[in-house]
Structure 1
Amino acid sequence: MDMQEMQKEVDAYISQFKTGYFSPLANLARLTEEVGELAREINHYHGEKKKKSTEEENTIEAELGDNLFVLICLANSLNIDLNQSFEQSMNKFNVRDKDRFERN
Structure 2
Amino acid sequence: MTHDKPIYNTVEIQKRVDSYISQFKEGYFSPLSLMARLTEEMGEMAREVNHYYGEKPKKTTEKVKTIDEELGDILFVLTCFANSLDIDLSEAFDMSINKIETRDKDRWTKKD
Q: Report the TM-score when normalising by structure 1.
A: 0.99
- How many Å apart are 1:102 and its aligned residue? 1.0
Query: Identity of counterpart residues, as a percentage?
Result: 62
Letter in 2 for 1:48: E
Are 1:80 and 2:87 matched, yes or no? yes
Which ranges of 4 or more aligned residues in structure 1 deviate by more than 2 Å?
none
Are 1:61 and 2:68 matched, yes or no? yes
Cα distance between partner residues in 2 of 1:66 and 1:46: 20
Cα distance between partner residues in 2 of 1:64 and 1:90: 20
- How many Å apart are 1:89 and its aligned residue? 0.6
Residues 4-15 of structure 1 correspond to what in structure 2 (within 5 A)? 4-15=11-22
Letter in 1 for 2:31: P
Could you tell me which residue of structure 2 aligns to residue 26 of structure 1? 33
- Kindly report the root-mean-square deviation, in angstroms, between the aligned alpha carbons of the 2 structures: 0.4
Aligned residues: 104
- Which SS does the other structure have where 2:74 is aligned? helix
- How many Å apart are 1:86 and its aligned residue? 0.4
Letter in 2 for 1:46: Y
Cα distance between partner residues in 2 of 1:12 and 1:34: 22
Residue 101 of structure 2 is aligned with which of 88, 94, 100? 94
Structure with more helix by fraction: 1
* Unaligned runs of at least 5 residues, structure 1: none
